[in-house]
Amino acid sequence: MLDVIRQLSKETPSKIVMVVLDGVGGLPLTTNGETELATATTPNLDALARESQLGLVELVGAGITPGSGPGHLSLFGYDPIQYTVGRGALSAVGIGVKLSAGDVAVRGNFATLDAGRNVLDRRAGRPSDEENVRVVAKLREAIPDIGGVPVEIYTESEHRFVVVFRAQGRPLGADVSDVDPQATGVTPMEAKAFDPASERTADLVNAFVARAEDALRNEPKINGVLFRGYSDVPHFPSFPDVYHVRSACIASYPMYKGLASLVGMEVLDVEGHEDALEGKVAALQANWDKYDFFYFHVKKTDSTGEDGNFDAKVHKIEDFDALLPSILELGPDVIAIVGDHSTPSKLATHSWHPVPLLIKSEWGRKDVAQRFTEEEAQKGSLGLRRGTDIMPLLMANALKLNKYGA
């Protein structure tokens, strides 16, 4: 559909805001209980829902649990089955690292391992960024290269870091299995290549894991590393070219800035930590006249779900609700509120459950929703949609699409 949308898109002065509440979909903790969204006190979201159309969204397909990268690509209109990218490249580009052909970037987690190398905590207690920087410096000193292959290590945020293996004329393959078992009580997995071109990369990863554990053996919490999301340099059709919009990304976390940059959005400066929504609203206000499309990312609705903290996720939803009027005061012609995947606190991880979607514009039909919740969205007139339907719907509601055919 990208080629069709490119042909139909037209420039207009109307403005679109897509708010992505990361991992917002949830589950009740008890039978017949309420989800995090339904539990939260959200007068502003609920008032907006009563003026909007609602529905549910599957980002990849029925029963498939999306990662954040595929989830966002789907929301931006790119079929995540056709357009793939590893978390490593998204994180690397998001923190300003330049990748060359043949390089491989990989996303890492600092972890806590017991004496038998079993994973006790996949996130090492979510260390501060300052603690991350300290440990990264220690690894840089211990692992400047592996077998002559230069190794670059970068802080991303909290427990997350990025490693880039530089090809130096000998291309590295990125088709490698994860080291991260995404579970506790088990040992990290051995990286294995899925094709001959990636065999050297798998060897580099396994060597890095062993040397990192040796370098960190005296650390009280951060004494292991887990890898997933290998990627070489990805290429996507340009978002501004497809949709004919001046597009901007308002996000703090590197991975999301990286993805927005890769599809061609301009990444705006945001003051404050990734949890500081006020800085994101300020960036939106300061740049309102310069762009037609704003991607506005809220991270902590996902992080609290991953931590299994139901009450904290409810609180983060309420934090966003309190700032929603500041966005609405700008008068967007179209506003969408959606998630990139569900992260139920009950599961403490991403899940396959469809996420709620809200679209408000002058041209929406009357709907039945009284609140912005999963249950109300299930009743909505938008029905169950694929993630790739969202951008065409927003463009149509902004009157930015010409008629198809005679």
Residues 145 and 169 in one domain: yes
Q: Which domain holds residue 374?
A: 2-84+236-397
Q: In the chain, how many H helices and how many E strands?
A: 14, 14
The predicted structure's pLDDT at residue 235: 83
CA distance 122 to 275: 21
Residues 261 and 285 in one domain: yes
The predicted structure's pLDDT at residue 89: 86
What CATH number is given to the structural domain containing 225?
Answer: 3.30.70
Q: Is 403 domain-assigned?
A: no
74 closest CA partner among 8, 114, 18, 157 = 18
Q: Is 405 domain-assigned?
A: no
Question: SS3 for 206?
Answer: helix
The predicted structure's pLDDT at residue 381: 95
231, 266, 296 — which closes off a domain?
Answer: 231
Quick: pLDDT tens for 76-109.
999 999 998 777 888 888 888 988 889 999 999 9
CA distance 40 to 372: 10
Q: Which residue did the predictor score with more confidence, 118 or 234?
A: 118
Q: Are 370 and 376 contacting, i.e. CB atoms less than 8 angstroms apart?
A: yes
> In which band, very low, low, confident or very high, does the pLDDT at 271 lie, cut at 50, 70 and 90?
confident
201, 231, 261 — which closes off a domain?
Answer: 231
The predicted structure's pLDDT at residue 157: 87
Quick: pLDDT tens for 16-72.
999 999 999 999 999 889 999 999 999 999 999 999 999 999 999 999 999 999 999
Q: Are 401 and 5 contacting, i.e. CB atoms less than 8 angstroms apart?
A: yes
How many Cα neighbours within 13 Å face the side chain of 278?
1
pLDDT > 90 fraction of the chain, expressed in percent and rounded: 87
Quick: pLDDT tens for 167-194.
988 899 999 999 999 999 999 999 999 9
> In which band, very low, low, confident or very high, does the pLDDT at 234 lie, cut at 50, 70 and 90?
confident
Quick: pLDDT tens for 342-395.
999 999 999 999 999 999 999 998 899 999 999 999 999 999 999 999 999 999
Residues 114 and 263 in one domain: no
- Across the range 246-272, mean pLDDT stands at 92
The pair of structure tokens assigned to 358 is: 């809200």
The predicted structure's pLDDT at residue 34: 97
The predicted structure's pLDDT at residue 202: 97
The count of other CB atoms within 10 Å of the CB of residue 328 is: 14
The pair of structure tokens assigned to 194 is: 């899925």
CA distance 280 to 248: 12
